[in-house]
Amino acid sequence: MHSVVCIKQVPDSAQIRVHPVTNTIMRQGVPAIINPYDLFALEEALRLKDRFGGTVTVVTMGPPMAEAALRKCLSYGADDAILVSDRAFAGSDTLATSYALATTIKKIMGNMPVDLIFTGKQTIDGDTAQVGPGIAKRLDYQLLTYVSKIVDLDLEKKEITVERRAEGGVQLLKTATPCLITMLEGTNEMRFGDLDDLFRAARYDLKVWNREAAGIDDAEMIGLKGSPTVVSKVFAPRPRSQRAEMVETVDNDPKNLAVTLLAKVFTQHPKLEKEIAKRAG
């Protein structure tokens, strides 16, 4: 079987800082990592490969430095990696990105048919959760989002059964392959690759496709031109106009601090006092 896993290299959002003057992202010292949600997708694809054999191809669209993320995926056990990189992609929003990736995957399918496409549930930098559904629609594939478990896969009948996280419960869904799965976080744990994979990843001759190589003929569909959304303003969150009212006592004894705080809060918010009394009563 052949799975394609779409990943993205992202700045570690936990370590991001904003330039206080220009409000731009200061990338210095911020490590670039594989979007953590994508690792659940990759591991699931690798598990299917363990069971059924076959090939796992990892694809990313990004700048040349995204190579590191792809090599890392190879070291976990992915077989092939393709970096789709071209200045023409700059400024792509989710709609344009899903077009570029869907077209790339079509090109991959030309060489080897694809059974499943995996993505993470969203990225930690954009947080949109739109590219996965976008790819599925463009390929006219069934879309299975927030999958928590692959219950059954029948390659001959081309059928797959999954558990999908829905509002208020779990859906047990059955559909036809090929389809696109966005994997829910926490559903598996990424493996520690063995030495052979590590050596292979280090030596792998990475495929870098530009726009033409990826089969994207229509330049109007990507980049700023192919993006209906336009970022009109970027700014830092507004600080609240007033700092917290600090509660202090002469001795700063915890007990006195607590009593002083309560008196203050309840005087200024009598409704809140009633609410708490009602619940406790």
Site residues for another protein, 215-254, by CB under 8 A, read 224, 227-237, 239-240, 243-248, 252, 254
Tokens 């799975």, residue located: 3
Terminal-residue alpha carbon distance, the chain? 61
Strands 55-61 vs 2-7: parallel, antiparallel or unpaired:
parallel
List binders of another protein among 3-42 (CB under 8 A). 11, 13-26, 28-29, 31
Out of 57, 62, 82, 114, the only residue in the binding site for another protein (CB under 8 A) is 62
3-state SS track over 14-39: HHCEECCCCCCEECCCCCEEECHHHH
Specify the residue, 111 or 172, whose C-beta has the smaller distance to another protein. 172
φ/ψ of 34, rounded to 5, equals: -75, 130
267 near another protein, rule: CB under 8 A:
no
Out of 91, 106, 208, 210, the only residue in the binding site for another protein (CB under 8 A) is 91
Out of 110, 186, 189, 250, the only residue in the binding site for another protein (CB under 8 A) is 186
Min separation Cβ 252 and another protein, Å: 7
Specify the residue, 111 or 226, whose C-beta has the smaller distance to another protein. 226
Planar angle of CA 105, 143, 40, nearest 5 degrees: 75
Min separation Cβ 54 and another protein, Å: 21
Out of 198, 206, 208, 213, the only residue in the binding site for another protein (CB under 8 A) is 198
Look up residue 77 and give its amino acid: G
* CA atoms within a 13 Å half-sphere pointing along the CA-CB vector of 137: 11
Min separation Cβ 50 and another protein, Å: 14
Tokens 């060489």, residue located: 111
Class of residue 106 by CB neighbours under 10 A (exposed 0-12, middle 13-18, buried 19+): middle
Min separation Cβ 274 and another protein, Å: 9
Cβ contacts of 122 within 8 Å, gap of 6 or more? 37, 128, 129, 182
Q: Would you call 72 helix, strand, or coil by DSSP? A: helix
Tokens 């619940």, residue located: 279
Q: What mask, x for binding another protein by CB under 8 A, covers residues 159 to 178?
A: --x---xxxxxxxxxxxx--
Out of 111, 113, 218, 259, the only residue in the binding site for another protein (CB under 8 A) is 259
210 near another protein, rule: CB under 8 A:
no
Separation of CA 32 from chain center: 14
Specify the residue, 67 or 80, whose C-beta has the smaller distance to another protein. 67
Query: Minimal CA–CA distance to 68: which of 104, 30, 32, 16?
Result: 32
Query: d(Cα 273, Cα 281) in Å, to the nearest integer?
Result: 12
Specify the residue, 3 or 145, whose C-beta has the smaller distance to another protein. 145
Segment interacting with another protein (CB under 8 A) among 44-52, 106-114, 197-205, 210-218: 197-205
131 near another protein, rule: CB under 8 A:
yes
79 near another protein, rule: CB under 8 A:
no
Specify the residue, 11 or 215, whose C-beta has the smaller distance to another protein. 11
Out of 44, 79, 86, 93, the only residue in the binding site for another protein (CB under 8 A) is 93
Min separation Cβ 146 and another protein, Å: 5
